[in-house]
Amino acid sequence: MADTRTITVTVNGRVCSREVETRLTLADFLRHELNLTGTHVGCEHGVCGACTVLVGGVSARACLMLAVQCDGREVATVESLADGDELNPLQQAFRDNHGLQCGFCTPGILMTLTEFLRDHPDPGEAEVRDVLSGNLCRCTGYQAIVAATLDAAKRMRGGA
Amino acid sequence: MKPAPFVYHDPRTVAEACDLLATRENARVLAGGQSLMPMMNFRYAMPDHLIDLNRVDELAYLRCEGEVLRVGAMTRQRDLEFSPEVGKRCPVLREALSHVGHRQTRNRGTLGGSLCHLDPSAELVNVAALLGGTLHVVSKGGARDIPFAEFAVAYMTTSLQPDELLAGATLPLPARGRGHAFAEFARRHGDFAIVACSALIGLDRDGRIADAAVALSGLGHAPVRPASIERALRGEKPGAAAFKAAAAEAGGFDAVADAYVTAAYRRHLARVLVYRALEQASMRALEAGNG
Ligand SMILES: Cc1cc2nc3c(=O)[nH]c(=O)nc-3n(C[C@@H](O)[C@H](O)[C@H](O)COP(=O)(O)OP(=O)(O)OC[C@H]3O[C@@H](n4cnc5c(N)ncnc54)[C@H](O)[C@@H]3O)c2cc1C
Ligand code: FES
Ligand code: FES
């Protein structure tokens, strides 16, 4: 018999209750149960960072957490960033600076940076490169991602 | 669905966790999941019972008490990294943490998980060897302490019994005025080190080395504290001659080889990193003395 539990998770502000197998990862819960396919799944063993989401405001690999571990907690995914069709400043900076090409890595990078820029509103380039070490991008060569991040930080500080 | 089926348990107390460990067959403890979850996703690890410690609050604590640092097994790597007390009293630990994976993995990964996983070149394992900590272990039957030097018994294998849980560690803080260094070589930032070397150096009033601690990892299944090097440094003037002699000695140690890295290359790295660590630790000891 499959081991299941009923969990209640607040995802992007919405309270979601589901009965899930306890071995279901958070990434698969978001994608398959809630149809939030913005969270991407690349390696499923913690290396690529594509699945990064915020759990309780803190960035984490969704492929290395179980959905049951999020029972009673708040999760934020890339879908929480834009307001309808309106991109948030971080997303807009990525668009303006060509911070993405295929876009596969982008959701994880945006969530990593959402946490980072909240805690470090005025980062230096070295710090940005350091925090990006946990997200693999095979397209851009990172240059444009770093530029977009620094630009976003500036816009968010109100200096656009 | 990646991991094979298991029964999930989320105890709230150490006593409940120990009881589960003692009574369930093929049970495994889940800490930060940053090593165990990948193994389960690959189905290298297929526990029948998964005992999640993330809701056992009493296992997460961090306190500087006099000359020791007391850390709970479930204390997150990020909490160690961002602790002002750790930064001040044990900067070698903070420096080591900056090499452990990435921001997202340190947000979840724990001290206890890293020590129990016991990767031969894990940075926290190296620092525990450098500081010479004591591990506090609990089981349904009782509790015992294990000196860190006796914790590793084989490749990625600890001296924990199947029904035992690591509850926490007591790490002696470096004495005041000690210079520290943590040097490693990894393919990319955030990867496990191929070889890592940490060091603590204290100088006497004449500027000679009064005491030296060195931990070298990546050569065998656990870090070594090379007594011959530590002894030979005592009484020496910190400088190229002493560091070169220590480095040459490290370059002669036995080393393992694997599909990626030859033994000769590991010895080469040991030589270079011992030199760098001693140089930087001595410099910092000098600064601490002048400052
Ligand atoms: C992309 C990536 C890069 C990484 N890079 C590094 C690196 O550079 N250096 C490094 O050191 N690590 C690295 N790691 C691994 C590190 O992040 C893990 O945190 C650490 O190895 C295990 O800690 P954990 O808390 O995640 O434990 P888990 O993965 O939950 O557990 C690890 C093992 O320890 C056992 N265990 C855990 N807690 C206890 C306990 N209290 N008592 C008994 N047994 C216990 C578990 O059963 C399991 O066997 C990396 C991981 C990823 C995903
Ligand atoms: S899918 Fe989670 S880190 Fe790659
Ligand atoms: S934009 Fe293609 S992987 Fe980053």
> Predicted confidence band at A160 (pLDDT cuts at 50, 70, 90)?
low
Cβ of B189 within 8 Å of Cβ of A21? The answer is no
What's the one-letter identity of residue A59?
Answer: S
Look at phi and psi of residue A35 and say left if phi exceeds 0, alpha if psi is from -120 to 50, else beta: left
Q: In angstroms, what is the span from residue A32 Cα to ligand 2's centroid?
A: 16
Cβ of B103 within 8 Å of Cβ of A59? The answer is yes
Q: Which ligand is nearest to the CA of B73?
A: 1
CA distance B249 to A131: 37
pLDDT above 60 (res A107): yes
- Give me the mean pLDDT over the A108-133 stretch: 97
Q: For the domain covering A89-156, report its CATH number.
A: 1.10.150.120
Cβ of B8 within 8 Å of Cβ of A22? The answer is yes
Tell me the domains of chain B and their CATH numbers.
Answer: 7-52 (3.30.43.10), 61-172 (3.30.465.10), 179-290 (3.30.390.50)
CATH for A4-80, options being 3.30.230.10, 3.90.870.10, 3.40.50.9100, 3.10.20.30: 3.10.20.30
Q: In angstroms, what is the span from residue A88 Cα to ligand 3's centroid?
A: 20
In this structure, the residues whose C-beta lies within 6 A of any atom of ligand 1 are A 46-47; B 28-36, 73, 99-101, 105, 109-110, 112-114, 116-117, 119, 122-124, 160, 165-166, 190-192
Sequence ranges of the domains in chain A = 4-80, 89-156
Q: Judge if the beta carbon of residue A102 lies within 6 A of ligand 2.
A: no
Q: Is A113 on the interface with B (CB under 8 A)?
A: no
CA distance B181 to A30: 42
In this structure, the number of other CB atoms found within 10 A of the CB of residue A143 comes to 11
Cβ of A3 within 8 Å of Cβ of B188? The answer is no
Q: In angstroms, what is the span from residue A100 Cα to ligand 3's centroid?
A: 6
Q: In angstroms, what is the span from residue A41 Cα to ligand 2's centroid?
A: 6
Vertex B119 angle, CA B257 and B232, to 5°: 70
- The pLDDT averaged over each successive group of 10 residues in chain B (291 residues) is 92 98 97 98 97 98 97 98 96 97 97 97 97 97 96 95 97 96 92 95 96 97 96 97 97 93 97 98 92 59
Do the interacting molecules here have an ipTM over 0.90? Answer: yes
- Candidates A104, A109, A112, A143: which one to mutate for ligand 3, based on the most atoms within 8 Å of Cβ? A104
Distance from CA of B253 to the nearest CA of A (A): 32
The residue among A75, A34, A70 whose CA lies nearest residue A58 is A75
Distance from CA of A92 to the nearest CA of B (A): 24
pTM more than 0.90: yes
CA distance B208 to B72: 37
